[in-house]
Every structure is written in C-alpha cells, then in structure tokens.
Amino acid sequence: MTFLKWRRHQRQRYSLCIAEETPQGRNLVFPSQYRREKDIPHEPDIFVSYSFSGEWQTVWTTLVVRLWYSNEFEHRELWRNAAEFAFSGRTLGLKIDNQQGQGKATISLYFDREVRDELKAIFIEYAHRHLAKYACEVTRDRRYVCRGCGRPFKDLELIRELLAEKRSTIVCQKCRTEVELVDFIEQRLKSDLVAHKILAMEETATRELDTQALEQILIGHMMAIAGEANQIFRPVTMFDYGIDGEVEFKDNDGRASGKRIYIQLKSGNSYLRTRKGDGREVFDLKNDRHLEYWISQPVDVFLVIRQTDEMRGDETIRWMNVTHYLKNRKDKKSRQIIFDGEKLDMEAVYKVRDGFFPS
C-alpha cells in the first residue's frame, strides 16, 4: 500500500481505533488488529438491551471507541464481546451478541447496583443515540425487577405492549406490587441535562479521535521518510509515555546495526507557540516527568512536530534532538523547550545516521 493510499485509508477508518492502556503503555488498536481471544468471563445482569440490524461490527466498535474517548468514564476492561468502564470504582458495561443471524445483533447494557441513576441515564442515552444514528430496525427492551419480592419481569413482549399503550406500571404476579415503567431513569433520558452531557461527550470524543488520526498520519510520514533514507522506523508500544517510535540505522554494509534513536511524535499546530519577547518557537511540556524520562533514555530522543498551513494547504515536519538540548541548557527544570527543529527529510536522517557510521 502506498503512503497516500495508507493515509486516505486511515482517515476513513480513524474513528474505529481503540487505545488500550497496558502495563507497557498505551496501544492503539484498529478493528483489523483487534483479536481478543476471550469473551467476558461472567454473565452480567442486563439492565437494557437494543436489538438491531445492519453492519453490527461497525456499530459496536464505533460505540465502544467513542465511549472510550469521551473521557467521561474510566477505562476498565475490553473483551472480544464486551467493554467495561467505571465511575468511582463502579462498573458500567456493555456487551454484544451477534448470534441472531447475519446482519443482526443485540447490544446489552449493565451496571453495578451502586451506580447512580443519573449515570445510568447518560450511559443508556449515549448508546441509544448512537444506535439511532448508525443502526437499523432498532428495538429496545428495558428490564424491570419487582421492588417487593425482587422477582424479575421476564416477559419482554408484555412490557413492550404496556409501554406502547402508555401504561405507567406493571404488576408483579407473585406479590402484586406495582412497579413503575416510566421510572426516574426513563424520565431523565430525554432531559436537557442528559442531552447537554452527551453533546459534551461527543465533542470530546471527536477531538480526541482527531488527535489520534493526526498521530497516525505522522507515523506514516516517519515510515516513508525513513524508508526513503533506507533506514528502519518502528512504532513502539513498550514505553510508558514520551516515546512513540524508534529509528534503527543500517551500517555501511546495509545491515541493521542496533544503533538507534527514539522518536516522540506531535502532530498539530497547537504544540508550538511563538514567544512574544523574541519570537522564538516554544514547546511546553505538560508533565515534569518527561524531562527526566527523556534524559534517562539509553539513546537520544528526537522531538518530531508536524504542522499544517491551512491557507496554503501545505505541511512542515521538523525535528530536533531534545536529549542534547536538555543536557546542555542552563535551566534544567524549565518545562519550556526552545524548538529549533530542522526539516525532517531523507538528508536529515542521513545526517544523524552518519554520526554513527561516517561515510
């Protein structure tokens, strides 16, 4: 696949990527790579389910991805057929069942008993709106449990009929307790408060996915530039933070040498600001730990920044050796890095490579 085709391909598919937090760092996972071997190890108590038709893999994956990137809930666990989130240590989950035949599936939502009703309403309505947008022939089944004896109402068809008839309650056949069908959660689903929260979640998810897409594009650029220089670029996921890849240089006989540099990738116009006093470009580190982390690496770390000029429609990719910069500057604790990056191209890669293997 050529780089331009790869880039278009990633733009089309970027909304379907999931970042997994692992003990080795964050991994970006695409559906074609997402091959979890295990199903969820327990059968949760379903609170509400949605049966639908259509491209169920796309519907399911995009729902999980956008919930993941909405930053409203903590990330807990992913399985082949389920995803779990958390809020204040309590689980909010959803699972997929596609055993109904080709093109049909059911997404079911479940919660720990201690999860607040407001959070349940937000989680349910987010899924509801997503399915309304991406799926076809959606039917909804809410589960109810008798407040008197704890007996679940298993006749889902009856509940659908009662709701269609605008009935407000259902009577338990065992203890004759009336249970509200349009309870607090059902009333909150369409409220302005929930709608505003979902809108904010959608905006956050879109912004985060845009950032991930830009980083994927920059990875493609790094692969192309290193390949043009006949050197090796590898994206890496073995680090906790601050390193996105490595360039391994070939020796004068064209063999992989083990000599390498680490790469930190940043794609976007927001990473550099112009300092008013002297007009110099500044990269602001958000975390003090990056300073020590970069300096402590066994090889030099290069900061790569890609920027675009929307007026002219072009882009620039520059890099600089931040290890040398941090070790040689006087103020060792400042989180401001004066970015004097040079253009990253084949000649720039050769220049660094020749520092290891003089021609």
Distances (CA, A) of 181 to 115, 164, 260: 19, 11, 64
182 and 305 share a domain? Answer: no
Task: Say if CB 231 and CB 249 are below 8 A apart.
Answer: yes
How far is the C-alpha of 338 from the C-alpha of 11, rounded, in Å?
A: 32
Helices then strands, each counted (H, E), the chain: 9, 21
Question: Which single residue is written with the structure tokens 């720990």?
Answer: 112
Residue 18, pLDDT score = 52
The CATH number of residue 91's host domain is 3.30.310.200
In contact, 198 and 122? CB cutoff 8 Å: yes
In a domain, 3, yes or no: no
The DSSP string of 50-116 is: EEEES-HHHHHHHHHHHHHHT-SSEEEEE-SSEEEEEETTEEEEEEEE-TTSTTEEEEEEEE-TTS-
Same domain for 339 and 222: yes
Q: Are residues 102 and 231 in the same domain?
A: no
What does DSSP say about strands 104-111 and 336-338: parallel, antiparallel, or unpaired?
Answer: unpaired
The answer to the question of residue 4 being in a domain is no
172 and 288 part of one domain: no
Assess whether 230 and 328 both reside in one domain. Answer: yes
Does 65 map to a domain?
A: yes
Distance (Å, rounded) from C-alpha 251 to C-alpha 171? Answer: 80
Mark whether 36 and 159 lie in a shared domain: yes
If asked whether residues 235 and 97 sit together in one domain, one would say no
Domain boundary among 204, 235, 263: 204
- Percent helix, percent strand, percent coil in the chain, to nearest 5: 35, 30, 35
CA dist., res. 142 & res. 287, Å (int): 45
Tally of structural domains, the chain: 2
For residues 226 and 252, what is the distance between their CA atoms, to the nearest angstrom?
Answer: 16
Residue 5 has a pLDDT of 43
Same domain for 125 and 260? no
Domain interval for residue 298: 214-356
Let me know: does 108 contact 99? Beta carbons within 8 Å. no
Residue tagged 């904010």 (tokens): 200
Give me the pLDDT at residue 332, please.
81
Same domain? 230 vs 195: no
Q: What is the pLDDT of residue 75?
A: 86
- Is residue 1 situated within a structural domain? no
- Choosing from 177, 204, 231, the residue where a domain stops is 204
What length does the chain have?
A: 359
- Same domain, yes or no: 141 and 33: yes
Residue 272 domain flag = yes
- Closest to 14 in 3D by CA, of 268, 245, 214, 265: 214
Same domain for 120 and 36:
yes
Question: CA 115, CA 48: separation in Å to the nearest integer?
Answer: 15
Is residue 5 in a domain?
no
Instruction: Indicate the pTM of the whole model.
Output: 0.62
- 359 residues of the chain, pLDDT tens digit each: 444 444 444 444 444 455 544 444 444 444 444 445 688 888 899 999 999 998 888 889 889 988 988 989 998 888 889 999 999 999 999 999 986 666 789 999 999 989 999 999 999 999 999 999 989 999 999 999 888 888 889 888 898 888 888 888 898 888 888 888 888 888 888 889 899 999 999 988 888 777 777 777 888 899 999 999 999 999 885 444 578 899 999 998 999 999 999 999 998 888 899 988 888 999 998 777 778 888 899 999 999 999 987 676 678 999 999 999 999 998 888 889 999 999 999 999 999 999 998 76
Task: Give the Cβ contact number of residue 37 at 10 Å.
Answer: 6
Domain edge (last residue) among 204, 225, 255: 204
pLDDT at 309 (0 to 100) = 77
Residue of 66, 61, 67, 76 whose CA lies nearest to 31: 61
Q: What is the pLDDT of residue 32?
A: 43
User: Do both 100 and 187 map to the same domain?
Assistant: yes
219 vs 7: CA distance, rounded Å: 10
